[in-house]
Amino acid sequence: MAQDQTSNYAGVWDGKLGFGKKSAVIVIDFLKGYTTEGSDLYAPGVVTAVSETPELLDAARKAGVDIIHTQVRYNEHNYIDGGIWIKKAPVLKCLVESNPLAHFNDDVLPAPGETVITKQYASAFFGTSLAATLTAAGIDTLIITGCTTSGCIRATAVDALQNGFRAICIRECCGDRHDGPHEANLFDINAKYGDVISKAECLEYLNNL
C-alpha cells in the first residue's frame, strides 16, 4: 500500500531544530507588486500573509527582537544586476525604485531604526550582508516571513541552514501565488532545512521572552 507523504517522511525527514539563544525576524519582499491586483506579480496568498504579519511584528518589537526587511531593486536602465535571473523571470523588471509596485506594503512598513537589506536574487543571504549582520549581533535563529514561499522563502531557509542559522518559517506569514507550490515548499523546508510553525506558536515564543 502506498504511503502518504507525511508517513513516508516520518522518522527520516522530520527532525526539529527549535529556537536557539537569540532570534531575529526577517520580512522578505512584502512589496506592493505581490498584493496589487493587475500586477503580473500579484499573488493572493501573499495578500493573506501580509494581513497576518503585523501582529507578529508587534510582538517582536515589544520583545525587543530585531526585525530585518528585504526588498528587491534593479538598475532600471540595463538590469545588469539581475544577471541571469532577470532573463529567466523578466516579470521582476517592475522592481525598480521608480515603480510604486517595488515599495513596501503599508501594513508592514519598516519601523524607524529597523534594518532594510536590498537584494537582487532569491535568497536574502546571497550577495548581501545578512549573515555577517546576524553573526555580529549574536543571532542564531531566523524567524522567516514574507514571499514567495517557493522562491525567496525557500532559498533563504536553505541558505540560513548552510550559513549556520536555525530557520523557523511562520506558516501563516508566508505566501505564494498558488497553494500547491506554497504547501509543497513548506513541507520540504520543514523536512530538510528548518522548522515550519504556526503563528500562534511563534507568538507564544515571542510573548514569553
Catalytically annotated residues: 152
Q: Could you give the 3-state DSSP secondary structure of residue 194? A: coil
Beta pairing partners, 168: 143, 195
Determine whether 128 is exposed, middle or buried from the number of CB atoms within 10 Å of its CB (0-12, 13-18, 19+). Answer: middle
Taking the CA atoms of 102, 87, 178 and 24 in sequence, report the sign of the dihedral they define.
negative
For the chain, how many residues are written?
A: 209
Residue 166: name the closest of 13, 23, 14 by CA.
23
CA distances, 56 to each of 128, 150, 170 (Å)? 25, 22, 10
Task: State the Cα angle at 61 between 120 and 54, rounded to 5°.
Answer: 65
- How far apart are alpha carbons 96 and 41 in whole angstroms? 14
